Structure 1
């Protein structure tokens, strides 16, 4: 049903994740990140409340493994959940309950964790971690490369129809939140990659406009000087 990768950038301190699914609007329910705190995914049979709960615990001082252990101990129906998180120090944690659907797998690397369910094969998360590690470019470029690597390794057992990229930096809001919520052509990963290619060169300008529009670049609209 879903495959995702979560990471912390050791150079910038940004957190981000990419995700794709046969379900509509997967990023709206499953992707959660908080600047300076971490990133969390709640997938499989999703309880969206568990992503913010993991982030709250990490913000309060828990490590990623500690936060995960507490959520797994306390959350109802946790056997149906697949959870992943990365904390501010790049520590990772993951959980797949006994009721995780179909072929599922998890993989971890330095500052990065990937997981999926109803996969075409169990190598997909490790392929995503390897794709992220091998990719060049900006943090967002590496996230997109990881998502593409997961798809190339087989991805989900059925056609994927939604995808997303979420990234936080120093602001209280996401500096990037790109989504393809439903694609009849089964090309949401390509749509997110294309959106990132357009948005990435402009991202810093949008952040500057929020911080101080007086010092921001021109808006690039008719009549703007």
Structure 2
């Protein structure tokens, strides 16, 4: 019911995940990312515990392949599940059960993993990976890479049933995301996701830089934060497409 991309920037360690589907609120259960740990997506007849238990193992430094093997071996429903993982070291694991609805499968690209099921065909995951690789070669930010990848997958046919929801998450140094946006129910979810990304740059992306993280309290001088937003931000009404 879904296709998704997991990605890692080897220069910065930034991790990201983006997903689109003809299913309500895909961002609630499928995509997961944690800075310095991993990106993961659980799909098809998803098992949310793959993320809960899998991320706990990945925090211990266990490789993606081992984590995927442990999760699927313990799950009697594994043949109707799809799972892929990209860990902080760049290791990738993919699982597509034999009971997933065609077309179902995955590809590994340069610093990315793409997996999907109920798709128009293998060209969806292939186009998604190629678009990501091209965007990465151009040096654009992670969120933009992921958006271009989803757009290419949709242009190649996307979910065979149509469109409904999409989500995108990016994380770098912190256990919580740098950016976490989702579209739960929309006629053009990927286009709406792009609009939200533009909107995030108006104020949110600047404010996010000042938040606390492991080992530091962040910047809590409100005047410093406001000055940065005023200097760098864009009024919401001026954001194209908002």
TM-score (norm 1): 0.91
Mapping 1:165-180, distance limit 5 Å: 165-180=168-183
Tell whether the 8 Å contact from 1:32 to 1:52 is kept in structure 2 after alignment.
no
Report deviation, 1:197: 2.1
Residue 33 of structure 2 is matched in structure 1 by 33
1:216 is aligned to 2:217: no
Structure 1 position 149 matched with structure 2 position 152: yes
Q: Give yes or no for contact 2:170–2:180 (8 Å, CA) kept in 1.
A: yes
- In 2: Cα distance, 1:190 partner to 1:164 partner: 11
Matches within 5 A, 1:1-225: 1-135=1-135, 136=138, 137-183=140-186, 186-200=187-201, 202-210=203-211, 211-214=218-221, 215-218=224-227
Write out per-residue CA displacement over residues 76-116 of structure 1, whole angstroms, 9 at most, x where no aligned residue: 31111100110111111100011111211201023210011
Gaps of 5+ in 1: none
In structure 1, C-alpha distance between the alignment counterparts of 2:26 and 2:59, rounded to whole Å: 24
Decide whether the 8 Å contact of 1:3 with 1:117 is kept in 2: yes
What is the rounded CA distance, in whole Å, between the counterparts of 2:9 and 2:172 in structure 1?
A: 10
Deviation at 1:159, TM superposition (A): 1.2
Per-residue deviation at 1:217?
3.5
CA contact (8 A) 1:80 1:99 kept: yes
**Contact 1:33/1:168 (<8 A) preserved:** yes
How far does the alpha carbon of each residue in 1:45-95 deviate from its partner, in whole angstroms, 9 at most, with x for none? 111111232222221121111111111111231111100110111111100
- RMSD over aligned Cα, in angstroms? 1.6
Q: Which ranges of 4 or more aligned residues in structure 1 deviate by more than 6 Å?
A: none
Structure 1 residue 40, shift from structure 2 partner: 0.4
